[in-house]
A and B are shown apart, each in its own frame.
Chain A
């Protein structure tokens, strides 16, 4: 009975969506806002990656909301999974083979380096805070899978995450104090194409990179923990 109602509902939605989709033309320019950002983006912000300048500068407040959502989700995962649990301290992990352990320890700083490169150069090349943070979290996942007896310290993760979030909000408040707009771009724009350019955008993206990396690593740590 539930299956039949579900299928009828699905067919109605599919027909409606299909009729709407054939009327949208593919491959033509649909909005003038995108053209404005492409024309004026490099002059107004100094960043050569237009998507970065939209995410951090023109729509910076939405990014602050998204960082809050990620923070709330990490908080929720930690709170839900730790009710009534005691940490088991004397678990005997069967150690992995020597090649696996050595390989993981060798790769870990290299992956961290790639992730840091991605979020530092976010305003010049494709990349940015979220992508770099995800790569950093993958490095921690590799340590969990390969060398199973190493655990990252929970207090360190939470400290880095909170500090990075505070840096983001503080930059916004300094912009408010300097010129009356929250998240105003108050540092000098410099020559576009250099590393130290585009004002306050690299500072915000480095803070977001640290925050997302430590948050996702904290989520994986909370899920992997052995409980009673």
Chain B
């Protein structure tokens, strides 16, 4: 029970990374692979934020001027994850536009059939 208490967030992030990697390695449709990439990135971001968590801490914002800085959560992983989320959406937009071009050129999105054709 205390094992569950301590590690449930790590287990969730690990499960998402595992499922994302499974989709990228095994599936053959290009859009399905990009969905797997998106799930993998969400898993890694969840892992980073859950490393910075301090038990019974609070958000790192001085909302009222007299809030004590006694127990605040680590702000550095949150700044890194903010950057990572925006970079993730940029990569996904570019990947999907390349997928649309590939479909226009080859007529199919199946990786096995694309490898058999030549340019």
| Nearest chain A residue, comparing its CB with the CB of B65 | A193
* B61→A49 contact, CB < 8 A: yes
Given A24-B51, A66-B86, A73-B91, A31:B62 Cβ within 8 A: no
Residue B1 at the A interface, CB < 8 A? no
A188 and B110 CA atoms in complex are apart in Å by: 58
Chain A, interface size category, equals 35 or more
Residue A91 at the B interface, CB < 8 A? no
* B25→A24 contact, CB < 8 A: no
* B25→A73 contact, CB < 8 A: no
Residue A177 at the B interface, CB < 8 A? no
A37 and B79 CA atoms in complex are apart in Å by: 12
| Nearest chain B residue, comparing its CB with the CB of A67 | B86
- Interface residue ranges of B46-74 to A (CB < 8 Å): 50-55, 59-63, 65, 69, 72, 74
Tally of A-B residue pairs with Cβ under 8 A? 134
The residues of B that contact A38 with a CB separation of less than 8 Å are 60, 69, 72, 75
* A51→B83 contact, CB < 8 A: no
Q: How far is the CB of A201 from chain B (nearest CB, A)?
A: 13
The residues of B that contact A31 with a CB separation of less than 8 Å are 74, 76
* B94→A50 contact, CB < 8 A: no
Q: 0/1 per residue, A17-57, Cβ < 8 Å to B?
A: 11001101111111101100111011000001111001100
Residue A99 at the B interface, CB < 8 A? no
Given A26-B6, A50-B61, A76:B94 Cβ within 8 A: yes
A70 and B51 CA atoms in complex are apart in Å by: 27
The one of A2, A50, A70 in contact with B75, judged by C-beta atoms closer than 8 angstroms, is A50
The residues of A that contact B26 with a CB separation of less than 8 Å are 2-3, 6-7
* A21→B76 contact, CB < 8 A: no
Q: How far is the CB of A62 from chain B (nearest CB, A)?
A: 6
| Nearest chain A residue, comparing its CB with the CB of B54 | A29
| 25 pairs, A vs B, C-beta closer than 8 Å | A6-B25, A10-B18, A10-B21, A14-B14, A14-B18, A17-B17, A21-B7, A27-B55, A28-B54, A30-B51, A34-B52, A37-B75, A50-B60, A51-B75, A51-B78, A51-B82, A54-B75, A55-B83, A59-B79, A62-B83, A83-B101, A126-B61, A193-B65, A212-B86, A223-B96
List the 8 closest A-B pairs by CB distance, nearest first: A73-B90, A27-B55, A6-B25, A34-B74, A50-B60, A48-B62, A54-B79, A50-B75
